[in-house]
Amino acid sequence: VITEPVTLISAAPRAGSQILFPDRPLLSCAMAERLGRFAVETALPMAVSAFCKPLASVSTGPGYECRPRNRQAGAKVSSHGQGNAVDIAAMELADGRTISVEKPDGAATVKFLASLRVAACAAFNTVLGPGSDASHASHIHIDIEPRGKKGDSKFCQ
């Protein structure tokens, strides 16, 4: 069940511009708000700094997907099953260049993605990506599922 489901279409950094979410992920309102804010306030300025081009879109897949964690039978329901998670597979810059998480092309892209993952740890409760495990080799998983006894712990790999 998703509490307050929304379809995220875009986030607007300023009037007349937008960052698109072409996969239109179905998310909880809280996750959509956090992802939109992260795209505008963090990913966009990082892209401009790294590539001198603004971020135009973020490819995420569907967002909501009722399934067990890491697709392992018998595991706890994934944060995706509550609309509280999304997987960033790629981003596109305003000039059409694609930033692939799975196959970064060059040192600047590798550095950008590493910095983006570190920054995501401040905004989300869980951040997993290439190198953390085989299930996250092609994307950066981010979620807002509460962690720890007080619900404010972080898990970033």
Tens digits of per-residue pLDDT, 82-114?
999 999 999 999 999 999 999 999 999 999 999
Handedness of CA 69, 71, 75, 80 (dihedral sign): positive
Query: What is the per-residue pLDDT for 48?
Result: 96
Distance CA 54, CA 30 (A): 25
List the alpha helices (DSSP H) in 18-106. Answer: 29-38, 44-51
Residue 75 pLDDT class (50, 70, 90 cuts): low
More confident site: 106 or 65:
106
pTM of this prediction? 0.90
Read off the DSSP letter of residue 63. B
Phi and psi based region of residue 47 (left: phi greater than 0; alpha: psi -120 to 50; beta: remaining): alpha
